[in-house]
């Protein structure tokens, strides 16, 4: 059973402090009579469409589920293919187009949403099969309506191209995707409840995995325990589960499940249940034998200290990259003290250990979009160590992960020349390797990441994933058998 009740209390507490009570929250009950979180609330989608209409340039909006998450955000309609037209001032404000389903198709594939469902459940003012899309769109263009579209929406852009090929002028604004994605950054109360639900299921899966982990088992067996919990709760995986034991924990997104767990290993588990389309993203790192070795513990406590300091900072007004910079500072101080960095302020030595900025939004996608900072995410050299780049100020209603980590690849030092010959001369690189190698040797093969899901509220934050143990003492106590 989903633990709706405790989730409800948590969010109730969080939303009391939250500033972004949106109009719909007061008038729309989030729970069914039996205290189950509702799967679909038509007024929420209606309000989003109305809000969006005020923000875009076009007279009408046309979106298909090529742009899947944005389409879902606006419609809640969950079958493919589908197209929505939002056309203020025409006969029908909200028109849904869905796949024609013949009795034979139903015989093979089961029932699908009908025109009736589109109108009476999903709130469309009228609905048609996809075959009617071209005619309806041409009609609206004929009335001189301009259109807002997503640049990545192949189906809709193709339809518009077809209309143009027939000699009709169409004014098109490609502003839909970015506008919807920015709306998605601030979660409404119902979204916060579903995210909290997904996180709670994910924490339950972590707890179950902790009890299953033991030397001799395989990574795929741990995966089975985790995904069992997701499915038992009517959730799926929001992204492929990352389960890396021993040296596999040093690969950020280890995609296989094939290694036997050994006494003395760490196992890194980065997982997220997706419940009613909302995805959690929680990482813990456990000792396979139930007790951290002194070396593992040293590094683990360093990452944990950095992560806790970063969480402490997460509140409205603080830039989205500032907790990352704080975590980085703590980790680099620690590495310097351990002798893993020889020049505390060397850009390239720090970059050697730092691979990503450990914050991102979560929501319908595990890496939810929307403005985060004036950076190009892939230009990591440009911002990872630039503390002047602070990022967008956080606001109540954002939900972000925070996930610092340390990864000592077994052959990590072999790659120093490849990565940094542009940044330091050969003598400097050689000297670094000479001095660091004996220390690195103690830690090589260790990978650690600790990741929580944080809801920003008016006066701070709520750690939605605090149900998954993360201190050394808590972890060792749960795993003690």
**Which of the choices ligand GLY, Mn ion, none does residue 67 contact, using the CB cut-off of 5 to 8 A by kind?**
none
Nearest CB to Mn ion, comparing residues 277 and 284: 284
- Indicate the SS3 state at residue 426: helix
Least separation, in Å, of the C-beta of 102 and Mn ion?
42
Least separation, in Å, of the C-beta of 455 and Mn ion?
15
Q: Cα dist. 376→68, 179, 240, 253, 372 in Å? A: 23, 18, 24, 21, 10
Determine which helix (DSSP H) or strand (DSSP E) holds 475, and give its type and residue range. helix 472-479
Measured at the alpha carbon of residue 326, what is the angle toward residues 307 and 362, in degrees to the nearest 5? Answer: 55
- Nearest alpha carbon to residue 455 among 18, 9, 3: 18
Least separation, in Å, of the C-beta of 403 and Mn ion?
5
- For position 320 contacting Mn ion by CB under 5 A, the verdict is no
Least separation, in Å, of the C-beta of 117 and ligand GLY?
34
Nearest CB to ligand GLY, comparing residues 189 and 447: 447
> Token digits for 1?
């059973």
Kindly indicate which of the ranges 19-27, 250-258, 414-422, 445-453 contains the residues binding Mn ion, using the contact rule CB under 5 A.
445-453
Instruction: Out of 157, 197, 401, 465, point to the residue binding Mn ion (CB under 5 A).
Output: 401
Question: What whole-number distance in Å separates Cα of residue 70 and Cα of residue 277?
Answer: 12
Measured at the alpha carbon of residue 59, what is the angle toward residues 54 and 65, in degrees to the nearest 5? Answer: 85
Least separation, in Å, of the C-beta of 403 and ligand GLY?
5
Burial of 74 (0-12, 13-18, 19+ CB in 10 A): buried
Site string for ligand GLY, 364-393 (x = CB under 6 A): --x---------------------------
Site string for Mn ion, 263-292 (x = CB under 5 A): -------x----------x-x---------
- Phi first, then psi: give them for residue 96, nearest 5 degrees: -110, 140
Q: Cα dist. 432→196, 318, 341 in Å? A: 45, 35, 8
Q: Which residues in the 242-301 window bind ligand GLY by CB under 6 A?
A: 270, 281
- Indicate the SS3 state at residue 419: helix
Q: Which residues in the 97-156 window bind Mn ion by CB under 5 A?
A: none
Nearest CB to ligand GLY, comparing residues 189 and 363: 363
Per-residue HEC secondary structure of 238-287 comes to CCCCEEEEHHHHHCCCCCCCCCECCCCCEEEEEECEEECCEECCEEEEEE
Least separation, in Å, of the C-beta of 367 and ligand GLY?
6
Nearest CB to ligand GLY, comparing residues 204 and 270: 270
Instruction: Out of 59, 188, 204, 403, point to the residue binding ligand GLY (CB under 6 A).
Output: 403
Size, binding site for ligand GLY by CB under 6 A: 6
Give the footprint of Mn ion on this chain (CB under 5 A): 270, 281, 283, 401, 451
Binding region for ligand GLY (CB under 6 A): 239, 270, 281, 366, 403, 451
């Amino acid at each position: 059973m989903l633990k709706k009740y405790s989730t409800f209390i948590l969010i109730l507490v969080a939303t009391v402090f939250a500033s972004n009570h949106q109009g719909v929250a007061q008038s729309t009950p989030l729970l069914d009579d039996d205290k189950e979180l509702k799967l679909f609330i038509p007024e929420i989608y209606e309000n989003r469409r109305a809000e969006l209409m005020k923000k875009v340039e076009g007279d009408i909006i046309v979106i298909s589920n090529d742009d899947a998450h944005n389409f879902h955000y606006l419609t809640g309609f969950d079958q493919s293919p589908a197209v929505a037209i939002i056309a203020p001032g025409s006969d029908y404000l909200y028109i849904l187009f869905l796949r024609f389903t013949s009795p034979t198709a139903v015989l093979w594939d089961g029932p699908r949403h009908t025109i009736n469902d589109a109108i009476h459940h999903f709130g469309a003012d009228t609905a048609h099969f996809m075959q009617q899309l071209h005619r309806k769109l041409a009609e609206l263009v004929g009335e001189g309506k301009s259109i807002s579209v997503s640049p990545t929406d192949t189906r809709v852009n193709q339809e518009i191209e077809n209309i143009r090929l027939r000699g009709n002028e169409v004014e098109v604004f490609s502003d839909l995707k970015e506008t919807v994605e920015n709306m998605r950054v601030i979660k409404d109360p119902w979204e916060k409840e579903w995210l909290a639900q997904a996180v709670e299921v994910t924490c339950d899966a972590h707890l179950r995995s902790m009890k299953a982990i033991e030397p001799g088992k395989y990574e795929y067996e741990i995966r089975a325990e985790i995904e069992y919990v997701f499915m038992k709760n009517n959730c799926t995986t929001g992204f492929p589960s990352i389960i890396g034991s021993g040296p596999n924990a040093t690969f950020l997104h280890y995609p296989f499940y094939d290694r036997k767990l050994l006494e003395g290993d760490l196992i890194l588990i980065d997982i997220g249940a997706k419940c009613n389309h909302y995805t959690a993203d929680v990482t813990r790192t456990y000792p396979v034998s139930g007790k951290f070795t002194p070396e593992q513990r040293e590094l683990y406590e360093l990452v944990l200290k950095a992560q806790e300091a970063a969480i402490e900072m997460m509140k409205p007004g603080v830039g989205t990259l500032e907790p990352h910079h704080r975590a980085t500072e703590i980790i680099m101080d620690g590495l310097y003290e351990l002798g893993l960095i020889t020049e505390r302020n060397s850009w390239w030595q720090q970059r050697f250990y730092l691979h990503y900025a450990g914050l991102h939004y979560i929501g319908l996608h595990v890496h939810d979009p929307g403005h985060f900072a004036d950076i190009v995410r892939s230009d990591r050299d440009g911002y990872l160590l630039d503390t002047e780049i602070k990022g967008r100020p956080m606001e109540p209603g954002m939900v972000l992960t925070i996930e610092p980590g340390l990864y000592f690849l077994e052959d990590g030092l072999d790659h120093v020349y490849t990565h940094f010959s542009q940044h330091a001369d050969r003598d400097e690189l050689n000297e670094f390797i000479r001095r660091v190698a004996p220390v690195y040797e103690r830690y090589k093969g260790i990978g650690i990441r600790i990741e929580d899901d944080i809801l920003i509220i008016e006066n701070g934050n709520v750690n939605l994933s605090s149900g998954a143990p993360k201190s050394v003492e808590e972890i060792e106590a749960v795993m003690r058998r």
